[in-house]
Amino acid sequence: MKIPLYLAKNEELRAIGIEPVPEAEQSVRAIELLDQYRKFSRQLSVMLETCTGCGACAKACHSYLGTNDFFNIPAARAGLIRRVYKRHLTWTGKMLTKLTGGPDIDAEMLETWVDYFFQCTVCRRCAVFCPFGIDTGEIVLAGRNILAKLGIASSFMVNIARNELTAGNNTGILKPALLDSCSFLEEELREETGVDIKIPVDKPNSDVLYLPSSSELFTNVETLMGAAKLFHFLGVNWTISSTLLEAANYGFFFNLDIMKEHNFRIRSAAAAVGADTVMEGECGHGWRVARMCTEGANGPVPFHLVHVLDFMAARLPDLPLNKLPLRATLHDSCNYARSAGLVDAPRELMRACVEDFVEMTPNREMNFCCGGGSGILMEEMMEIRMKLGKMKAEQIRQLLPLDYVALPCASCKAHVPLVLKHYGMEGVATGGVIDLLGKALRL
Amino acid sequence: MELLFGGILPYVAFAVFIGGTALRITTWLKKPVPFQLTLFPEPDGKVGKVAAVTREFLFFRTLYRESRLLWLWAWLFHFSLAMVIAGHMSGIYFLRSQFTLIGAAPETSILLSTVLGAVMGTIMIVSLSALLCRRLFSQELRKLSESLAWFDLLLLLAVALSGLGMYLPGYHADLPLVRTYMEGVFTLRPAPLPLLPIFVIHFSLVNFLLLYFPFSQLMHFAGFFANRAMLVEASPIFPTPAGKRLRSQFAGQKTQRGVFASREEADAREAPNR
């Protein structure tokens, strides 16, 4: 299936330091890049060379279940690279091609890569279902990295990466706007609670650098307000940074050099405010990248790295809470559940702050992706995004009547409300876990 | 011809099998894993990790949980294969008297060895056929199967069928002769290949299998360990403990920091192009 993805223009790519490869050279260059990537990471060759095509992954994948497109079966998706890999980079493949002829890499193949590597949300559910634990997400990320180095990338992701590189956050907020937003939110907090609660920006001598998703300054404000309330109550000496106001790291989705660059700023931003602890806010892939990729991308990590949900769960005994009269469920962000082991903390918090907490089936590491992961949040992909969200919608439907779906991840927060609307469940509210905790807190 | 098949081929096949497999594995292991790929929930400690991988290896737990019918055929095939390999080693070496070691009478041992061999061989053929049919009759799996996947299955089936062929009524498998020959091979004094027709076919197919193995998808047995090892790696500790080595060159490379000082600067830099 062709997808309506808007590709980045050359000038957009140059703005993030990528020099596009002329179309005529792309095929040859793709093979060189594939060879480079295979030397760069063990997983690519092990995973491509181990798959036996048993098909166990088919029913694991929300993308295949939602679209019924053969190439959205994880093994088939990986097969798009495997064919090229075996044909050009293994000598059995080379020999066999001499005997039988085989598929070559051409512009059409690269287009197919785009079509299917951007219908995978790198949720890793296939790795849980595969008898060998093959993680198609890794293969997809390799494919997207290779495509990006050729100059083929999603315009949406490239522009977000550019915002991250220049402004230090996805939405491109600069310091004056940030200060404005914070004083507005402080005002809101004062109205709501009657207490003077600060959202400190670039405060020197802070203990904790808090990295929210920058969307928390505009759309998901309840999450940042909740966090501010909780930090205030617990007496945490915290700040946000104007140079790095983002837990998300879009480089992870298509260009590891950009991921590394954005990651590096965590260290300098923490040093600038004197913090020895970096606390990540509600962002799924952001937490995966920070926790699992910082050491690998940027060398030894000199600070403590914690997630706000783990931190709050540990401080739960100190928090006086009024249980909210809600029937609520928790959506495990894939990156938390399968890639970063954050499953118990959000549950403890949910049980503590709502009256009726219900679990989805399946949940935890078996949970379905909401369909908006790995940067697939672009407008033009809406029809496909709704298909990718089908399994999640069905899971939520089983729990109706429901008041609230807790989504401790900014991508899920952006995507799930649209899915609920599309599948006729507008009545269900969505938001973060910290939002609820903030509301339940007795100040 | 007898010398080629009986005296040279087995050594070449064995050397290629061991050397090729080792080469494939070391090629994998020489490459870095730039980031922890831990798949949670993370098993506890070294013992937990080994236990998790071993359980998966012995019982195919993931398949059992997710795909019961596939599990049945896949597990039966691999189990019977393991039994058959063990049976070949002990049965040929002890001339079917291996069960006397655990107290069976010599006749019982011979009977037991023969029956077990036949049963395991049959299970192998049935399970391989089932795996083959599974691929054949599902359109999805047919599309998913690379051409060599069919070849792998057919080759294994041919090996199993020729092996079981030696159990055909009226066929006299001259075990002592085979043992003498194999002993010669193992002690580097190869004798001519015993010219028992089905044995020659079986033996040549096995040699071909060994030659082919390291370059085929059958290497998934090693890929299993290489892959699972990455998935059970311990997650990082913060701050990073002193003296920890860099995971890969990537971690050591400098970033382009400073290139993107601010949004305004980037816009200004781009302005002439507009």
Token code pair at residue A437: 């905790």
Contact B144, A75 (CB under 8 A): yes
Gyration radius (Cα) of chain A, Å:
22
B83 Cα distance to chain centroid: 14
In chain A, what is the greatest distance between 2 CA atoms, to the nearest angstrom? 79
Q: Per-residue pLDDT for chain A (443 aa), expressed as one digit of tens each?
A: 899 999 999 999 999 999 999 999 999 999 999 999 999 999 999 999 999 999 999 999 999 999 999 999 999 999 999 989 988 888 877 887 776 666 678 889 999 999 999 999 999 999 999 999 999 999 999 999 999 999 999 999 999 999 999 999 999 999 999 999 999 999 999 999 999 999 999 999 999 999 999 999 999 999 999 999 999 999 999 999 999 999 999 999 999 999 999 998 898 899 999 999 999 999 999 999 999 999 999 999 999 999 999 999 999 999 999 999 999 999 999 999 999 999 999 999 999 999 999 999 999 999 999 999 999 999 999 999 999 999 999 999 999 999 999 999 999 999 999 999 999 999 999 999 999 999 999 98
Nearest chain A Cα distance for residue B211, angstroms: 13
Which pLDDT band holds residue B189 (cuts at 50, 70, 90)? confident
Helix (DSSP H) and strand (DSSP E) numbers for chain B: 13, 0
Probe site for chain B from A14, A47, A54 (most B CB atoms < 10 A): A54
The pairs formed by B25-29 with CB atoms below 8 angstroms and a separation of 24 or more are: B25/B222, B25/B226, B27/A45, B28/A42, B28/A45, B28/A46, B28/A49, B28/B223, B28/B226, B29/A42, B29/B226
Residue type present at position B117: G
Gyration radius (Cα) of chain B, Å:
26
Nearest chain B Cα distance for residue A108, angstroms: 19
**How many C-beta atoms lie closer than 10 Å to residue A344's C-beta?**
13
Which member of A43, A90, A299 has the closest CB to residue B230? A43
**How many C-beta atoms lie closer than 10 Å to residue B252's C-beta?**
10
Mean pLDDT of the region B1-18? 87
Which member of B35, B40, B148 has the closest CB to residue A338? B40
Q: Is A337 on the interface with B (CB under 8 A)?
A: yes
Strand arrangement, sheet containing A354-358:
A354-358, A324-330, A404-406, A429-431
Is a pLDDT exceeding 50 seen at residue B259?
A: no
Which member of B37, B235, B274 has the closest CB to residue A135? B37
Which chain A positions have a beta carbon within 8 Å of B239's beta carbon?
Answer: 300-304
Cα(A310)–Cα(A28) distance, rounded to whole angstroms? Answer: 47
pLDDT at position A100 is 63
Cα(A62)–Cα(A415) distance, rounded to whole angstroms? Answer: 15
Contact A85, B217 (CB under 8 A): no
Share of chain B above pLDDT 70, in %: 92
Q: DSSP per residue over A40-92, as a string?
A: H-HHHHHHHHH-----TTGGG-HHHHHH--GGGSHHHHHHHHHHHHHHHHSHH
Cα(B15)–Cα(A325) distance, rounded to whole angstroms? Answer: 71
CB contact under 8 A, B236 and A75: no
* A7 secondary structure, DSSP code: B
Contact B211, B5 (CB under 8 A): no
pTM of this structure:
0.93
Residue type present at position B53: V
pLDDT digits (tens, 9 = 90+) for A391-401: 999 999 999 99
Provide the strand spans (E) within chain B.
none
Which member of B36, B40, B257 has the closest CB to residue A337? B40
B118 Cα distance to chain centroid: 23
In chain B, what is the greatest distance between 2 CA atoms, to the nearest angstrom? 94
Q: Is B101 on the interface with A (CB under 8 A)?
A: no
Category of A172 on φ-ψ map: left (φ > 0), alpha (ψ -120 to 50) or beta: left
Quote ipTM for the complex: 0.93
**Chain B neighbours among A 393-432 (CB < 8 Å)?**
none
**Chain B neighbours among A 274-293 (CB < 8 Å)?**
291-293
Q: Is B151 on the interface with A (CB under 8 A)?
A: no
Q: Is B187 on the interface with A (CB under 8 A)?
A: no
Q: Is A322 on the interface with B (CB under 8 A)?
A: no
A253 three-state secondary structure = helix
pLDDT digits (tens, 9 = 90+) for B17-49: 999 999 999 999 999 999 999 999 999 999 999
